[in-house]
Amino acid sequence: MAGLLYYANEYRKHANMPQSALTSTECECSKAELLDRINHLGGAELIAVNVRNPLAMDPQTHCHARGTLFLLTEGLVIVETAQGRQLSPSQTIGWMPPGVEHAVQSYGPTAGCGAFLTPQFCGDLPAEPTSYPVNPLVALILQKALSWPHGTPLDLTRMRLLLVLLDELRQSPARPLQLPWPQDARLLGIARALLDDIASARTLEQWARWAEISPRTLSRKFMLETGMSFAQWRQWARLTQALEWLATGRAVKDVALSLGYDSVSAFIKTFRQALGATPSAYFQAQQRGQPMPASSAAQPAAALE
């Protein structure tokens, strides 16, 4: 609950409550008050708060009555739902529809802005978790919304800004779940086992025997249920793990070898093809607050079979 506790800290600031005068009991009341605002639909149609977590957050499954936009300016977050996993590095805007159970795992310090939107304004946004590249106008409106009161409906001027924000998001290229779970129990078992042993060199045929399924059925159903080939899914799983490890400060060479690559250069090549930059350039750009260029590859290259 580290993230929600920080929301409570920020809520006290907006409510002009001096932190030095608060007791632990009052902290819990403030957190409860904020949660009440988020999970009930009265008051402002959009509630925005600053977020800063100096420590990594452990995932806890939860959901909100409102849809959630999260503009991450520092750090790396992985969001997991029943449908799959979504990677959100800094300089991205994450979207979580109302009522969807999810868990958030952060890696190292994170910072950004969270905005909670009543369901009547969520209809034109994706029905599944997704993310967007940072839109400067959206970022400015979210920043401005931090000063809006939480307890009363938006006035006409603020409502116009909210509608502009939604229109900008509708026109932005959405990034769907990057690691969707297959629905077939046998394929899901393979996917989970792959994440537990990310460097495994098992071939598709070996995984098929492990799951007691034919290689042809495994290949066909993986594409049908995830939209990716088995090799593409496994490669993206490795890249997701690579970003998690790199965000915690592990060396590129250590990450490459831990993922099962034969050489650092092969890992860097695959990383650049999928994410548009080398690992070093990727994290340097994040530290400078610059969005990464779009990758020329629609899916990660299948470097390991």
Output the pLDDT for position 168: 95
Rounded Cα distance, 253 and 180, in Å: 28
Cα angle, residue 75 at apex, residues 162 and 283 outer, rounded to 5°: 115
Rounded Cα distance, 94 and 51, in Å: 14
Q: Which helix (H) or strand (E) holds 183?
A: none
Give the rounded distance of the alpha carbon of 64 from its chain centre: 16
Using a cut of 0.85, tell me whether the model's pTM lies above it.
Answer: no
Output the pLDDT for position 31: 60
Asked if 79 and 32 touch (Cβ cutoff 8 Å), the reply is no
Output the pLDDT for position 225: 94
Rounded Cα distance, 98 and 158, in Å: 22
Backbone angles phi, psi at 205, to 5 degrees: -65, -40
Rounded Cα distance, 27 and 33, in Å: 10
Tens digit of pLDDT per residue, the chain (305 long)?
Answer: 334 433 434 433 443 333 322 222 333 335 667 777 777 778 899 999 988 876 666 667 888 889 999 898 887 888 888 888 887 777 788 899 999 998 887 777 788 889 999 999 999 898 888 888 888 999 999 999 999 998 899 999 999 999 999 999 999 887 766 789 999 999 999 999 999 999 999 999 999 999 999 999 999 999 999 999 999 999 889 988 898 888 888 899 999 999 999 899 999 998 888 877 888 888 776 655 555 444 433 344 444 33
Return the axis-axis angle of helices 204-211 and 215-226, rounded to nearest 10°. Answer: 100
Instruction: Report in angstroms the alpha-carbon separations of 298 from 65, 91, 185, 232, 274.
Output: 33, 20, 27, 10, 8
Under the phi-then-psi rule, with left for phi > 0, alpha for psi from -120 to 50, and beta for the rest, what region is 211?
alpha
Q: Parallel, antiparallel, or unpaired: how do β-strands 67-80 and 103-117 relate? A: antiparallel
Q: Which of 199, 206, 197 is nearest to 258 (CA)?
A: 199
Asked if 294 and 92 touch (Cβ cutoff 8 Å), the reply is no
